[in-house]
Every structure is written in structure tokens, then in C-alpha cells.
């Protein structure tokens, strides 16, 4: 199965669980993205890979005209229910159903890292932005990002191999550094491309977080929840051991690290 096909198949049916759990982690970068892209009243904004719509919700509150797009139908339907004032579409990078120069700003909160061809995705986002328009994208900053990285660490510590259809390589990994992320935008033709680091602590009940991530994410969810119960228990034991190092009362304060790339067309 190729990377994009894997993504399509494994986001399906996760929208509500994602909104309940993982979206509380991604919410942290929404305001920096909106500020970086200069979103305000009447900005024609494309929220690409909108998920359940944290960027859309905040941009609508600022008075922006929001078009929310996701490759997953359940995510788009959820946004349509929550935010009747947004335009919503099912579409997948790197092919968007919009004319050239249709938007003043594009935001993608943890989506370009889910595409099979990030350079083609960046080129498509350039195409749909007007000259002078702004783009702001986030990705995770591993290995310092533990809030979701700890699941991969637990898998490896347990010596467990992900199911055979889970892609061994993530195409975005070549662009996942601070300089490389900025270069991805510069190579697509954007001006003034650079990436900033964001750091915060994700405070959560560790058992609830385990359930939320298994139910609500595509690759980590598929890699762990499709294992036999005994194997899952071994991975969970390693997870418990790893997160214990971040205990904060009854919760854990997991280091969360992201990169925010921004530029102008
Ligand atoms: C980690 S979630 C981020 C959701 C949301 N932006 C947020 O802030 O929480 C990634 C989202 O990207 C979507 N996605 C994955 N590949 C995509 C593609 N090629 N084009 C558009 N959306 C895609 C998934 O369906 C999922 O909703």
C-alpha cells in the first residue's frame, strides 16, 4: 500500500475520537499559525487538512472567510456540523479543486507531514495562494517531541514490528528539520521562508492519552491497536515506564515540540 492510500484508509472512522483526544494537543499551535499567517476579518483562508476544525473555529471567530478541506469525509462532515459558516470540501493534497490564487492565506496544522509527496503539496498550496498571500504550516519536531513520540519509543522498546501495511518510511521525514522545513517552502517558490520552534507541555492522564492516541490517530493507532492483546500489553508496559519520567501529580507533562514554517507568496 502506498503512503497516501495508507493515510486514507487509516484516518477513516477516527474523527470523533481525534476531536476528543489528539486535537487537544494540536490546539496549541492554532494561535501561532493564525498570527503567523496574519489571519483577520475577511481573510480568505484555506484550512488544509482541517481535521475536526480547530483552525477553522478560531479563524471564524476572527471574522475570516474559511474554506476547510480534508481528505477524510468524516472529518469534513464533523466540521460542517460544528461550523455551518465555513465552506467545506473533501479533497486531498497535492490536488485541490480550487482555481489559481483563490486564497489570501493557507494554514495546515500537522498535515503536510501526512502527505506522500510534500514538495508537490507545497507547490499546490503556492498555486492556490494569491501573490502576497501567506502560508503557515506545522509539523512535529522529533525526537524532542515526546507527546506522540513516546508511542513509537514504546513500540521499539517492546521490540514490536508494526503491521506489514504500515509504511516504513514517512515521506515528510526529509523535510522535518527547522532548516529543511523552511527550504520545502522556498523550493516551491515562496518568499521569506523560515521555520520557528514551538515548545510546551502536554498535561494529560496517561491512561486516557493512551486510549485517545490509539483510537484517534492513523499511523500510531494502526501500529498498536491492531496487535494481539498480549503484545499491546507489552507496549503499554513500556509506555507506562517511559511516561513515568514525566509524572506531574496524577497526570504526566509530556514535552511537546513543533516546527512552524511560514512564508509569503
Ligand atoms: C494530524 S491531523 C490534523 C488535523 C487538524 N489540522 C488539527 O489541527 O488537529 C491530519 C489531518 O490531515 C488529513 N490529511 C491527511 N493527508 C491529507 C492530504 N493529502 N490532503 C488533505 N488532508 C489530509 C487527515 O485526514 C487528518 O484529518
Which domains are assigned to the chain? Answer: 3-264 (3.40.50.150)
- Nearest ligand 1 atom to alpha carbon 22: 9
Higher pLDDT, 168 or 76: 76
Q: What's the rounded mean pLDDT across residues 124-152? A: 97
Quickly state the pLDDT bin for 1 (edges 50, 70, 90): low
Best of 76, 93, 111, 215 to mutate for ligand 1, by most ligand atoms within 8 A of CB? Answer: 111
**Residue whose CA lies nearest to ligand 1 atom number 22:** 49
Q: Is 111 in the pocket of ligand 1 (CB under 6 A)?
A: yes
Across the range 159-171, mean pLDDT stands at 90
Tell me which of 9, 23, 47, 71 to substitute to probe ligand 1's pocket, judged by most ligand atoms within 8 Å of the beta carbon. 71
Phi, psi of 96 (to 5 degrees): -110, 145
Residue nearest to atom 13 of ligand 1 (CA): 49
Percent of the chain with pLDDT over 90: 94
Query: Residues 118-130: what's their mean pLDDT?
Result: 98
Tell me the pLDDT tens digit for each residue of 143-159.
Answer: 999 999 999 999 999 99
- Tell me which of 131 and 225 has the higher pLDDT: 131
Q: Residue 174: pLDDT above 70?
A: yes
| Per-residue pLDDT, 168 | 87
Residue 54 Cβ < 6 Å to ligand 1: yes
DSSP 96: -
- The helix or strand, by DSSP H or E, that contains position 134, with its residue range, turns out to be strand 129-140
Does residue 75 line the site of ligand 1, with CB under 6 A? yes
Is the full-model pTM beyond 0.75? yes
C-alpha–C-alpha distance, residues 116 and 112, integer Å: 9
Q: Report CA(203)–ligand 1 centroid distance (Å).
A: 23
Is 92 touching ligand 1 by the criterion CB < 6 Å?
yes
pLDDT digits (tens, 9 = 90+) for 175-213: 999 999 999 999 999 999 999 999 999 999 999 999 999
Atom of ligand 1 nearest to the CA of 121: 19
* Contacts (Cβ under 8 Å, ≥6 apart) of 77: 15
**13: region left, alpha or beta (phi > 0 left; psi from -120 to 50 alpha):** left
pLDDT above 70 as % of the chain = 100
Amino acid at each position: 500500500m502506498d503512503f497516501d492510500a495508507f493515510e486514507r484508509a487509516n484516518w477513516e472512522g477516527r474523527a470523533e475520537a481525534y476531536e476528543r483526544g489528539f486535537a487537544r494537543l494540536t490546539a496549541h499551535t492554532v494561535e501561532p499559525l493564525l498570527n503567523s499567517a496574519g489571519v483577520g476579518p475577511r481573510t480568505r483562508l484555506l484550512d488544509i487538512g482541517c481535521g475536526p476544525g480547530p483552525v477553522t473555529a478560531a479563524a471564524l471567530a476572527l471574522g475570516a472567510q474559511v474554506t476547510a478541506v480534508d481528505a477524510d469525509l468524516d472529518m469534513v462532515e464533523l466540521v460542517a456540523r460544528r461550523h455551518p459558516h465555513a465552506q467545506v470540501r473533501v479533497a486531498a493534497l497535492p490536488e485541490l479543486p480550487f482555481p489559481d490564487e483563490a486564497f489570501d492565506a493557507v494554514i495546515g496544522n500537522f498535515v503536510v507531514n501526512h502527505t506522500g509527496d510534500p514538495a508537490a503539496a507545497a507547490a499546490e498550496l503556492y498555486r492556490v495562494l494569491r501573490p502576497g498571500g501567506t502560508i503557515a504550516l506545522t509539523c512535529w519536531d522529533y525526537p524532542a517531541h515526546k507527546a506522540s513520540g513516546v508511542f513509537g519509543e514504546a513500540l521499539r522498546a517492546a521490540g514490536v514490528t508494526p503491521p506489514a501495511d504500515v509504511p516504513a518510511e514517512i515521506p515528510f521525514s526529509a523535510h522535518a528539520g527547522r532548516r529543511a522545513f523552511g527550504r520545502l517552502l522556498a523550493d516551491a517558490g515562496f518568499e521569506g521562508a523560515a521555520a520557528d520552534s514551538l515548545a510546551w507541555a502536554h498535561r494529560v492522564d496517561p491512561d486516557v492519552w493512551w486510549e485517545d492516541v490509539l483510537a484517534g490517530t492513523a499511523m500510531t493507532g494502526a501500529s498498536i491497536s491492531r496487535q494481539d492483546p498480549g503484545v499491546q500489553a507489552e507496549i503499554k508496559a513500556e509506555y507506562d515506564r517511559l511516561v513515568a519520567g514525566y509524572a506531574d501529580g496524577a497526570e504526566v507533562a509530556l514535552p511537546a515540540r513543533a516546527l512552524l514554517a511560514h512564508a509569503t507568496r
